[in-house]
Amino acid sequence: MFLTKRHLSRRTVLKGAGVTLALPLLEAMVPAATALAQTAAAPTMRMGFFYIPHGAIMGNTSHGPDMDKWTPSGAGADFKLSPILKSLEPYKKYVTSFGNLQNQAMVGGVHGFAPATWLSGHRPDKGSVGASMATTLDQIVAQNIGQNTTLPSLEVSSETTQQAAACSGSACFYNTTLSFRDAHSPLPMEFNPRKVFAMLFGEGDTPEERAAIQDQTRSLLDRITGNTRALQRDLGVNDRRVLDAYLETVREIERRVNLASSRDLSMITVPEAPMGELNAFGDQVDLMFDLIALAYQADLTRVASYIMVAEGTNRTYNHIGVSDSFHPVSHHANEVGRLEKLVKIQTWHVERFAAFVKKLAAVKDGDGTLLDHSMFLYGSNMSNSDKHNGHPLPTVLVGGGNGKLRGSQHIDPGQPTPIANVHLTILDKINARQEKFGDSTGLIANV
């Protein structure tokens, strides 16, 4: 980016004839001879975790490598995307694929452990009365890069994960979400786009309604805070402990309300609030992607997790010529017809992800685009869906990562390697280094 001598405020507006027009990021808003990282153009990392259930058609069916429709090959100019991943071709330089990954934490859990252990690499404690696993990768990332946004993290799905996963008992803790805030706190995945919209932009259909509701919420929180602090003086030790925990929740809500009131939406066009879940599944999937993209663009959140279709779903894909339900057809018994249907389904989901990537590649962000300043993990926590096994896991990392990702390569460690090594490497890339994550054994080189 060319650095000019004249410095304009990032919030400069044009006024005239009763009209106020916000400006986009201009070169003049970057002071001359100022390091980019100290200016309004400083790149901010966005991260996303996009989950598809039931694995992918790889080389571990009875048909061997000839039926492998997922695994890319080569690197650099010789990097070749597979049929399932071909829609990412325009963004190939941003794609790193991994081979030989495994997740021992999901083995034996069939569908019960698959979603939650994808980002934890930690086997749940089935003997626990409540949820008991570990903090997931997305939440550790949110602790490091998401605390200055309205939503430290955003968890969504394209359909309800409760019904689709035939949730019952302890399985409800692990097969309905990707995200655990801590070992005992699973986070729900919101599938209603109207509720997601409200979380991002506030309740109400118009900007005026949203502003009025926000003012009411703020004043209510002020009253709650004042009253509870007055009450605290008259309580015993145990009651004060309970009240302190409550006040921490109120303070966090206050913090988010304050962030929401100061958010700058002048750079984006906020759409009308959606009515609710859409009937057409393709539209529903795309709308969730659009909301995530808007949230990134407006810096309302920097971390998103998305279950693109629920574990164990009976969703049909008539819109692409597959009338079979996803889960039943995933038990393919090595039948070529079923394998081909699964390839269609898996290809379609990557195409929706690629359309999202395209949107971010078109959004200017400082000295690059949102895609340049993002890091997205896309994949499944299952390999061969007929066997419910966890090796090799279909996994790609997409984005520029603020210049920290090489891209255009397929990395095969040569032996079964924990997917938690990918997680550990991601944390290293955002300077949130840990000695160990889940069952990791070390960083993956050359990512």
Residue 6 lies in a domain: yes
Whether a cis peptide bond, with omega within 30° of 0, leads into 392 is: yes
Dmax over CA atoms of the chain, in Å, equals 74
Residue 396 β-bridge partners: 97, 378
Report the DSSP pairing between strands 13-16 and 19-22: antiparallel
Q: Is 90 exceeded by the pLDDT of residue 175?
A: no
Per-residue confidence (pLDDT) for residue 189, from 0 to 100: 93
**Cβ atoms within 10 A of the Cβ of 349, count?**
23
Per-residue confidence (pLDDT) for residue 232, from 0 to 100: 65
- 172 with 321, same domain: the answer is yes
Q: pLDDT category, 410, cuts 50, 70, 90?
A: very high
The first and second tokens of residue 287, run together, are 């709308």
Residue 292 lies in a domain: yes
Q: Which amino acid is at 182?
A: D
- 277 with 389, same domain: the answer is yes
**Rg of the Cα atoms in the chain:** 23
Q: Is 90 exceeded by the pLDDT of residue 244?
A: no
**Strand runs labelled E in 339-405:** 364-365, 368-369, 374-379, 395-398
Residue 159 lies in a domain: yes
Q: Find the helix packing angle between 137-145 and 420-429, rounded to 10°.
A: 10
Residue 436 lies in a domain: no
Residues 6+ apart with CB under 8 A from 329: 322, 338, 341, 342, 345
Q: What is the sign, positive or negative, of the torsion defined by CA atoms of 63, 66, 67, 72?
A: positive
- 187 with 210, same domain: the answer is no
- 60 with 122, same domain: the answer is yes
What would the mean pLDDT of 104-110 be, rounded to a whole number? Answer: 85
Rounded Cα distance, 112 and 388, in Å: 11
The answer to whether residues 72 and 85 touch, using CB atoms and an 8 Å cutoff, is: yes
DSSP state at residue 92: G
3-state secondary structure of 417: strand
Q: pLDDT category, 163, cuts 50, 70, 90?
A: low
3-state percent breakdown (helix, strand, coil) of the chain, nearest 5: 40, 15, 50
**Cβ atoms within 10 A of the Cβ of 128, count?**
13
Residue 346 burial by Cβ neighbours in a 10 Å radius (0-12, 13-18, 19+)? buried
Q: Write the pLDDT tens digit of every residue in 333-349.
A: 999 999 999 999 999 99
Residue 445 lies in a domain: no
Q: Is 80 exceeded by the pLDDT of residue 28?
A: no
- 17 with 120, same domain: the answer is no
Secondary structure, 3-state, 98-131:
ECCEECHHHCCCCCCCHHHHHCCCCCCCCCCCCC
3-state secondary structure of 294: helix
Residues 6+ apart with CB under 8 A from 223: none
Final residue of a structural domain among 271, 293, 317: 271
Q: Which domain holds residue 398?
A: 43-201+272-429
- 172 with 51, same domain: the answer is yes
- 178 with 299, same domain: the answer is yes
Higher-scoring residue by pLDDT: 205, 314: 314
Of 113-122, 252-261, 295-304, the one with minimum mean pLDDT is 252-261
- 286 with 355, same domain: the answer is yes
Q: Is 90 exceeded by the pLDDT of residue 129?
A: no
Of 102-111, 312-321, 353-362, the one with minimum mean pLDDT is 102-111
Residue 309 lies in a domain: yes
Rounded Cα distance, 103 and 121, in Å: 6
- 320 with 396, same domain: the answer is yes
- 134 with 227, same domain: the answer is no
The first and second tokens of residue 226, run together, are 């004042």
Residue 435 lies in a domain: no
The answer to whether residues 212 and 261 touch, using CB atoms and an 8 Å cutoff, is: no
Domains contained in the chain, number: 3
The answer to whether residues 367 and 1 touch, using CB atoms and an 8 Å cutoff, is: yes
Residue 328: CATH number of its domain: 3.40.720
Q: Write the pLDDT tens digit of every residue in 413-436.
A: 999 999 999 999 999 999 999 999
Residue 379 β-bridge partners: 51, 395
- 189 with 320, same domain: the answer is yes
Residue 38 lies in a domain: no
Per-residue confidence (pLDDT) for residue 230, from 0 to 100: 65
- 69 with 81, same domain: the answer is yes
CA 378 to chain CA centroid, Å, is 9
